[in-house]
């Protein structure tokens, strides 16, 4: 979209989860001009909006940055695929749509452990609620009038019933709502859907904002660097349709490119670890050694079981079934195509000594076998992701070169600590115990992964190292804080540079114990009030049930 005006009050880099929220909130009073710059295309592809199309979407190279990690030393030197959304809506347009806020104590620890008193859960909950319309209805924990629609899992399948019952009988617990009164146990999950379609951040926030005359969106535009004069960010230089274009920000430049792109752009702009920046021939603008450091993610593996009854969705890829599911979705917005498949899950403790949940489950009535990098087959099986939800391993994002078109390098150091290795082994054992419950007796066939031969801790860990992947939650690379390794303050202003903020998953100081899309949208909503000098919403001390440690 062309625009002859080269100056805006606010320039937002990235039309992902945070950028879409910011565009909506910063423009709603009509007083400020807002430019949003997105490296990818519009979200016009049909499969983006079909929930069950998620596996096609996140493998689509036209809407994906297609990142890959460096060889990971503690998981057999394997390189991990790291898809991130390069499309309007960002990763909220290609993710599995699970809406999870994490555990309330996640945020309380941000406040206490990182000297961030504005970020305890009582001050975050009002923004979660204000941003959401839950089909569960508004209550003490959930919102009913926000722009983002969230929907409790609706796919009927006896395996989901068996899963929930197993939470009770295994002692791992059961919850009616993991974002509600009891944020622990197993449950039917929420997803970001509206009328059976994906409700991405673009659908919820950006498209309404673009109806206003004070919001401009550039797609297929790569930001090459932030322009800085003295100690102030003044604008950005972009490449758009083969031309370099400069935009000036009257008030602020806001980086919302995510935990990979944002630190890359900061370093390209001379902000970050000075020796690393100079090593690529870039002049140092601000010495901030924490840029790109503290990289965190949720490592995951999958346990998989053959199913003795044909209740799984193994026939979903048959052309006739695909056609029938597609027609039902187009006419009614219901059925299998309206499901994101991972409709149940849990937050549980790996051991009795764990003070809070440290393992996350995602459960689905489906078993995947990857035929190639881009094709899968479905088995008569059911599966469960086992995530290390409180990892202690940390990695780093760093520059490959001074060329903005070169992908940055990244190493997550998955399972590099004894704590994470113990957690993944304990999590697999907890998952096995859940599936061993009587409610699964009628369905549980052979264990296909890890397999019944893997019984010792050493064997289970070897399986984890061989099969480990990511749950696609990179974060924490420009963290909030007041110490020397922090990149931004608690209002997300970059230390030492005026007129520059970072608002995305990179500012998280320690990863939450669940999916990140909901926290990132909450963070962005709070950031908008900080940016405009508005009062934050009043704290909300809701009641919660926590299991005794």
What residues are annotated to the active site?
A: 473
Are 428 and 263 in contact by the 8 Å Cβ rule? The answer is no
β-strand pairing of 381-388 with 359-364: antiparallel
CA distance linking residue 265 with residue 292, whole number of Å: 10
Query: Three-state DSSP class for 286?
Result: strand
- Cα torsion angle, 190, 191, 195, 199, sign: positive
Distances (CA, A) of 87 to 61, 321, 329: 11, 29, 23
Whole-number CA gyration radius for the chain: 22
Residue 346 DSSP symbol:
E
CA distance linking residue 228 with residue 50, whole number of Å: 42
Q: Which two tokens stand for residue 99?
A: 């809406």
Kindly report the three-state secondary structure assignment for every residue of 109-165.
HHHHHCCCHHHCHHHHHHHHHHCEEECCCCCCCCCECCCEEEEECCCCCHHHHHHHH
CA distance linking residue 243 with residue 259, whole number of Å: 27
Residue 283 DSSP symbol:
P
The residue with tokens 């941003």 is 131
Query: Three-state DSSP class for 186?
Result: strand
Please list the residues that pair with 225 across neighbouring strands: 237
């Amino acid at each position: 979209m062309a625009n002859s005006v080269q100056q805006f009050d606010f320039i937002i880099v990235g039309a992902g989860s945070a950028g879409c929220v910011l565009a909506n909130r910063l423009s709603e009073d009509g007083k400020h001009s807002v430019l949003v710059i997105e490296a990818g295309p519009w979200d016009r592809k049909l499969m983006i909006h079909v929930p069950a199309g998620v596996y096609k979407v996140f493998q689509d190279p036209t809407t994906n940055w297609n990142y890959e990690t460096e060889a990971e030393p503690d998981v057999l030197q394997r390189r991990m695929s790291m898809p991130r959304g390069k499309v309007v809506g960002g990763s909220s347009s290609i993710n599995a749509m699970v809406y999870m806020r994490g555990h309330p104590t996640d945020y309380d620890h941000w406040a206490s452990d990182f000297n961030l008193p504005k970020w305890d859960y009582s001050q975050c909950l009002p923004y979660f609620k204000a941003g959401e319309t839950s089909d569960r209805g508004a209550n003490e924990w959930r919102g009913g009038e926000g722009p983002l629609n969230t929907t409790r899992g609706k796919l009927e399948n006896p395996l989901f019933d068996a899963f929930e019952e197993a939470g009770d009988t295994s002692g791992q617990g059961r919850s009616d709502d993991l974002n509600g009164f009891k944020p622990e146990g197993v449950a039917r999950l929420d997803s970001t859907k509206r009328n059976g379609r994906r409700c991405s951040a673009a659908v919820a926030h950006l498209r309404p904002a673009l109806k206003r005359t004070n919001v401009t969106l550039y797609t297929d535009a790569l930001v090459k660097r932030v322009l800085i004069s003295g100690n102030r960010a003044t604008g950005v230089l972009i490449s758009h349709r083969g031309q370099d274009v400069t935009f000036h920000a009257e008030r602020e430049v806001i980086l919302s490119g995510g935990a990979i792109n944002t630190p890359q752009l900061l370093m390209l702009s001379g902000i970050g670890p000075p020796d690393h920046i100079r090593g690529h021939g870039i002049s140092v603008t601000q010495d901030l050694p924490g840029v790109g450091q503290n990289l965190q993610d949720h490592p995951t593996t999958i346990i998989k079981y053959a199913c003795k009854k044909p209740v799984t969705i193994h026939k979903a890829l048959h052309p006739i079934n695909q056609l029938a599911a597609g027609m039902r979705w187009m006419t009614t917005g219901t059925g299998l195509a309206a499901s994101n498949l991972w409709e149940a899950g849990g937050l549980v403790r790996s051991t009795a000594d764990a003070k809070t949940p440290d393992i996350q489950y995602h459960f689905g009535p489906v078993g995947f076998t990857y035929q190639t990098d881009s094709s899968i087959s479905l088995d008569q099986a059911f599966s469960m992701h086992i995530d290390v939800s409180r990892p202690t391993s940390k990695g780093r994002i760093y520059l490959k070169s001074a060329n903005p078109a070169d992908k940055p390098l990244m190493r997550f150091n998955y399972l590099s600590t004894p704590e994470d290795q113990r957690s993944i082994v304990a999590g697999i054992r907890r998952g096995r115990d859940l599936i061993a419950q009587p409610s699964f007796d009628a369905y549980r066939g052979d264990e296909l992964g890890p397999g019944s031969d893997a019984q010792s801790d050493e064997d289970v860990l070897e399986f984890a190292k061989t099969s480990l992947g990511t749950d696609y939650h990179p974060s924490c690379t420009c963290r909030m804080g007041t110490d020397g390794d922090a990149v931004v303050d608690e209002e997300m202003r970059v230390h030492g540079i005026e007129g520059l903020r970072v608002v995305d998953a990179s500012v998280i100081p320690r990863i939450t114990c669940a999916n990140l899309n909901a926290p990132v949208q909450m963070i962005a909503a709070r950031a908008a009030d900080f940016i405009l000098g508005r009062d934050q919403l009043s704290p909300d001390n809701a009641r919660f049930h926590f299991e005794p440690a």
